[in-house]
Structure 1
Amino acid sequence: MKVIAWIGLFFCFLSCKSDEQGSEPIQKILVIGNSITYHPPDAAIGWNADWGMAASAPDKDYFSLLEDSLRYHLPELEMMRENVYPFERKFSSLDFAMYEHLKDFQADLLVIRLGENVPLENLEGWNFSQSLREFAAFLSSGQTRVLLTTTFWPNTAVNDQLLHAAAEMNWQVVQLSQLGAQDSFMALEEYSNESVGRHPNDQGMQSISRLIAGKILGE
């Protein structure tokens, strides 16, 4: 009888944990970001790869690592990524219709991993926070959960905007700026172009993936 009781408590724990997270099993995840998420080849800056800058291989950028990690728990998971650099640069005037294909994906979870390219001189009040909330609403199905990260490189002005949006919408938050404050998480010695080399190296990509996966899985 004691064994049966303990089994019952165990399954109750799992059920309660699922209820606390308040979500159905995730089937589709959309990740929006910038060059850290994905960058096509660009010989002008010495970047000849076709994945998240500056990972050493396609399976070592944070998106691919995150996909592998989550599929261990969610075998049927579909994931999609997009570099939304134009939104960062023109957040107050961009026509979201150019991202209709992302909306059509109907994601269960939207991961927002951006902010590094936002022009600081264009920030006024909570204008980026407002635009980000509108963009997220455009990309969402109505039931879409949102997880947001802070910037990789410390950026108080942009992070304040990101965290304001998260607080207003009750989004989950993953702190990443502590990584970009340390040279050991950047590919500084691996590329002649400084802007490329300041991107996350394999260790940085792995850390980003681990922190996001942990939040998604509730670890």
Structure 2
Amino acid sequence: MKVSQVIEQLHRLANPEKVAFKKAKYNIVTTNALGIYMKDLNLLAKEIGNDKPLALALFDTGLYDAQILCSKILKPKDVTPALMEQWLPTFENWEICDSFSMGLFSKTSFAQSKIVEWSRREREFEIRAAFATLASYTMADKKAANEIYESFYSLIIKAATDDRIYVKKAVNWALRSIGKRNSDLRKSAIATAIKISEIDHAAAKWIAKDALNELQSEKLKPLDYPRSIYRL
């Protein structure tokens, strides 16, 4: 399918009222957006299938909905560090940030290094990408050892004092996701949350409280991805 054909289909699906609705209800601020429902983009992506040249061309159009579609028709193995760095600064809201972080970045062989690198950035959605990628990576790599995830606790603790809403939510998300990977990581994630709770900062208090509410709940049933003995 040609880029022009896809763009034509996207314009047929356009719903300007959806742009305003998403901004008002979900704080999804976009430029050059058509307001297409995610379910329609998913259906279109299924129709197209994986198509690297088309995906890259769609992102380069600068059309928001086309960029979201790119994240759905590109295979993670076709993502390069150069592409990740090219795209990352363009993310202007949590929706597109998470779409790429969860759908692509967390499934690449560069996930671990980019999590570390991006956690040191300044822009809100670049840092969010680090922790959204980490949150998704806990499910994307089912063979990684516990030590891999425990190595990220220092990044989580450091970022816990970031007041920006989409950073602190992603930090919280990453911590909870690690804790849900298996029962050993649940223990170490709880210990990390308690450590964060002792930081005299509102964002840290919120992150810790919310994480502990879930991780200490009797209703939580951790998965059982590769485990190692957790030692205090």
Q: Normalising by structure 1, report the TM-score.
A: 0.30
Of structures 1 and 2, the one scoring higher in RCO (CA 8 A, sep 6+) is 1
**What is the TM-score of this pair, normalised by structure 2?**
0.29
Structure number with the higher strand fraction is 1
